[in-house]
Structure 1
């Protein structure tokens, strides 16, 4: 995951981010808060950049035409009304919520949104709700919150390209491979075959279990026995167990409950717990004074 690393790893992650954004043209369009997000995004790559820019009213566009790109619409962040200046008192959270609802309703109402690739970047609103009280003027977010928004925005775009092994945030689910599809079909047929064969054997066993003496008309009670299990049934039963285990692994790999770094295999993470358990077993082994063996026989 980009920029969620300690300082000693930021150099390598920085190179990955530069490789992700090479020959990419990214445009930030919005008010002063979007400008701050822009500079926080740039500082992830170049921390020495200065926050300059055209803040005046010169050359303001009357019409903006944007197309042939992936558009991320950012929700308007809430404000801290008690700290707003007199010129900004008309900005209220109620109006901001109404504006966001109208924008989302319009963007979601068109069936062309999937083709236009409009994505709603709602995480900034959630971050602002928790940190806006630390704002200096009640409108702009503190620097730490802007940096977090920039990191998440970088993850949204770059994780699906670079596919880092230490994070699953913002990555689309990979499609099923041919081997996975074949394995799924194989285990499905194994389960179905095992159920069919088991039902057939159980029904045959129940029919042959009670035999009636035709001469006396009395029912004989046969010895207690279990249905004979064929080799094919045992084999399919083993495949069913293996299929359930593989399904569990697949669901764990697709889930986002844990970081990918906790699922990444290393020799140390695999063998150290095993050696630890073996050592504990050796030191906590005791000799028993009595040996008890229980045998149960049925006649």
Structure 2
């Protein structure tokens, strides 16, 4: 009886422990088979090199597709800029043109050459500074510090270029290169805009400056030289409208008016400066011929270069507002 009691009491106990263990062990077998199949499949994929093709080659294709159009558009922009300057130079100063003396023609030739060269150097240096991160640091820096350093550097190198005698070509060219470098620093954030906007702005700038240069060079008299005073007054108004949002608390309507004056008023003012500067070059050429001295083409090119840069900046802003501010 005791044996039967122990046997009957222990049988359910052992049977209760045995069955769950058997069910648990049997349930792990399909999982182990699935894991083995996954491992075999992974080993086969690695052996065939599928991972290397999908994870190493596709990013290169994506990077190539993203970088190639940007360089093409940049090259087209620079080529169009230089080509337009050469065409304008040849059109205004061709040998069959009447009314120009030898000194005027020579000074116009050299001035347009230095203007085109300075713009190309500025664009290339600004592109390199943008790629090296200088533009991002400028955007995050104090705007007053950037404005002060830009003005001091630009004005200082410009005055050094103007007041250095042409008899010191090395020193004069060093000041000229430093001036273009200062302009490149301040212009490098423009590469945040889409290349299509920059290309269109460069094309419109070259077309407008070329047309204005032709008008100024073919005028029968020095009538545009009398615009110096009004243009200077307009320049102060445009500068005040540009600096007003940084100094004065302004509402939305006042801010819109100030921005319109800075953009469209500045576009009109610097377009007038193109007419003034072209006729000033011709006047300086005549004075140099009368005195028997050599004209300073490098100093003359700075004014045209600044006119084109300011027109270009405003056209970029106008196109960006029309296109919804498309950026890279």
Q: What TM-score does the superposition give when structure 2 sets the normalisation length? A: 0.20
The answer to which structure, 1 or 2, has the higher relative contact order (CA under 8 A, 6+ apart) is 2
**As a proportion of its length, which structure holds more strand?**
1
Q: What TM-score does the superposition give when structure 1 sets the normalisation length? A: 0.22
Larger-gyration structure (1/2)? 2
**As a proportion of its length, which structure holds more helix?**
2
